[in-house]
Amino acid sequence: MTAQKHYKTIWLSDIHLGFKDCRADYLLDFLNRVDCETIYLVGDVVDLWAMKRSLYWPPSHYEVLRTLFHKANAGTRVVYIPGNHDEPFRDYVGNIFGPIEIRKEAVYTTVKGKRLLMFHGDILDEHMQLRKWESLIGDAAYDLLLFLNRWANFFRRRFGRHYWSLATYIKQRIPNARQVIDVFERAAVKEAERRGLDGVICGHIHQPALKEIDGLLYCNDGDWIENCTLLSESHDGELELLQWTETQQSLDKIGEPKSADVLPMRRAS
C-alpha cells in the first residue's frame, strides 16, 4: 500500500502485542499508510506479562512486528526503548536486534532545537506511592474499564460510529485517577529539568498529552489499547499528537495548542 502521510519522526508506545485488547489492526493500518525517517518505540511493545497469563498471538500481532522490521530493513531508523511489560529486552540495551537499535533511554533534538528526554516512564512509579492493595484494585478496575470499552465500541461499530475510548473518558473523570496522572506528568518534566533538557517524551500511563508544564514540554504518545495515539514530528518541526480512530480512516489531530511557538498542534475537526 502506498504511504499517504510523510513524517520526519514518529513515536509509538504501549502497543501491548500479545494482549487481547491490543488494537493491532488499527496500528497495522497506520503503519501501512505512513513513512518516516525514524520510529521510536517507547516501551511495552510486546506484553510479556499478559503472555505469561495466557498465550494470545493472532496474525495481526505478528504482522505489526513484521511491518516494523520491514520498515527498518527498508531504511527507516527504528529505535526500541523497552518498558516494564517488555523489561527482559533491557538486557540487550546497546545491541542491535536485526535492523532495530535497543536503547535504555535517549535524547531527541527536534528540528527547532528542543532537546527532549525519551524513556518509557515506569522509572517514575516510585512517585505514585501506591500501596499494594491500591495497585490490585487499580488492576481490577482497569480490566473492567477495558471490558466496558470493548462492548461500547462494539455497539458504536454496529451503528456506524468511529472508535472512541470510553476507558479514557471515565479515567479523566475519576479524581484519584486524575491526581495520579498529574503526579506522573510533573515527575516526568522534573526529571527532564534535572538533566538540563527542554522536555520529555514517554508513555506508560496510557494518557496521551502534548502540553507545557512549568515551562517544559511534556509529550506522552498514549497507547494502542485505549486511545490508538502517537506523537509525530513533521519535516518543518511541528509536533503533533495524532489519533488513528478507525481502520481505513485518516489521522485526526487531538489536543489544544499551549504555545504556538512551542506546541503547534491543532484540534481534530
CATH of residue 194's domain is 3.60.21.10
**In a domain? residue 115:** yes
Ranges of beta strands (E only) in the chain are: 5-12, 34-41, 77-80, 96-97, 100-102, 106-109, 115-118, 199-202, 209-213, 216-220, 229-233, 239-243, 252-253
Does residue 74 have a pLDDT over 90? yes
Q: Is residue 259 included in any domain, yes or no?
A: no
Q: What is the residue range of 59's domain? A: 5-253
pLDDT at 236: 93
The answer to whether residue 186 is domain-embedded is yes
Per-residue pLDDT, 125: 79
Domain count, the chain: 1
Band (pLDDT 50/70/90 cuts) for residue 161 is confident
- Determine, yes or no, domain membership for 104: yes
pLDDT at 178: 77
What pLDDT, on the 0 to 100 scale, is given for residue 126? 72
Selected residue with higher pLDDT from 241 and 260: 241
Question: Within a domain: residue 268?
Answer: no
Conformational region of residue 7, where left means phi above 0, alpha means psi within -120 to 50, and beta covers everything else:
beta
Whether residue 65 is contained in a domain is answered as: yes
- Give the DSSP per-residue string, 153-201: HHHHHHTTPPP--HHHHHHTT-HHHHHHHHHHHHHHHHHHHHTT-SEEE
Predicted pLDDT of residue 262: 39
pLDDT tens digit sequence for 113-125? 999 999 999 988 7
Top pLDDT among 29 and 268 is at: 29
